[in-house]
Structure 1
Amino acid sequence: MNVSVRSMVPNDAEAVEAVEKASFPVPWSRESFWREAANENTCYLLALDGESVIGYVGCWILSGEAQVTNIALLPDYRGKGVGTMLFGAVIEAAKERGATAMTLEVRPSNTAARALYAHYGFCEAGVRKGYYCDNGEDAIILWKTSL
């Protein structure tokens, strides 16, 4: 496995959509990723194994705060440190673009993601009741107030 990280561009939307469909019950569309990649207020990074897109992470950066929108890996790459590397890269990229704090929502049932965020010092700040439309699961709101 030869994993690298680079910024997403609009032409990556199809490959990112494939990762999204393999990861989420209600996936974003290819057009959504194309729009996100073209938006000056977003930062999306890709994880690649050679030339193949195996994962991505994205955030919005506004007024010094970064809001993580998504992070996903193809199933065969989970649990191998790729997510940790990718999430660390988006934190650094957000800092370089002026973010001083970062927030996100996570499912209480997603123990792997919760462990990843705890590794980077994210703390629980609240709950969004019934946040996830596929099953009505709540979302835990996490913040890292100092990047």
Structure 2
Amino acid sequence: MTEDHVIRPMQPSDLARVVEIENLCYPNPWSAELFKRELDNPLAAVDLLWLEGEIAGYLCSWLVSGELNILNVAVVPAFRRRGAAAALLRHVIGKSRRQGLERSFLEVRVGNAGAIELYTSFGFKPVSIRKRYYPDGEDAVMMELDHVGDEA
């Protein structure tokens, strides 16, 4: 990832493009209403990564009592394999560390080897399998990263 990217919180004016990206990336996408609820939720954050003047991806998360729950990560196909998801993850973990982060959690499709490799490179470890977690019946790997002792 080059230094010419910007990460900032999602604004209501970004909603239409974020929903377009969601529909492009997922077979069972979040609705516009779900994203609106995230914008209104004080525990939630939707961080957008801008590259080349456009939204390249986003990461939706909740930080509650020192625990970061990563809910949704999407990168526009044209920007994949360029470090976009890693930049978003680094940003959100860094921001959360400054707010008392102790542990991070996420679920990922068992068949999403690229995402599992990314999360493992950050230190996430698989802790369980959630059988038939996704609407199409695919299992999810529950992953956790312990931040206690991390440098802020």
TM-score of the superposed pair, with normalisation by structure 2: 0.90
Structure 1 residue aligned with 2:133: 131
Deviation, structure 1 residue 99: 2.1
2:75 maps to a residue whose letter is L
Aligned match of 2:48: 46
Cα pair distance change 1:96/1:10, threshold 3 Å: farther
CA distance in 2, matches of 1:106, 1:19: 18
Shift of 1:34: 1.7
TM-score, normalised relative to structure 1 = 0.93
RMSD: 1.4
Aligned-partner Cα distance in 2 for 1:143–1:94 = 15
| Letter in structure 1 aligned against 2:128 | G
Q: Which residue of 2 aligns with 1:60?
A: 62
Q: Please state if 1:7 is matched with 2:9.
A: yes
The number of residues matched between the two structures is 146
| 3-state SS of paired residue (2:81) | coil
Partners of 1:10 and 1:38 within 8 A in 2: no
Q: What residue in structure 2 maps to residue 100 of structure 1?
A: 102
Q: Distance in 2 between matches of 1:30 and 1:94?
A: 25
The structural deviation recorded for 1:9 is 2.1
- Counterpart check, 1:140 vs 2:141: yes
State the SS of the aligned residue for 1:45: strand
Counterpart Cα distance in 1 of 2:39 and 2:12: 5
Contact 1:13 1:31 in 2 (8 A): no
Q: CA deviation at 1:90?
A: 1.1
Match of 2:30, SS state, is coil
CA contact (8 A) 1:43 1:93 kept: no
Where 2:85 maps in the other structure, the secondary structure is helix
- Are the aligned partners of 1:41 and 1:60 in contact in 2 as well (CA < 8 Å)? yes
> In structure 2, the residue corresponding to 1:25 is in which secondary structure?
coil
Q: Which runs of 5+ in 2 are unaligned?
A: none
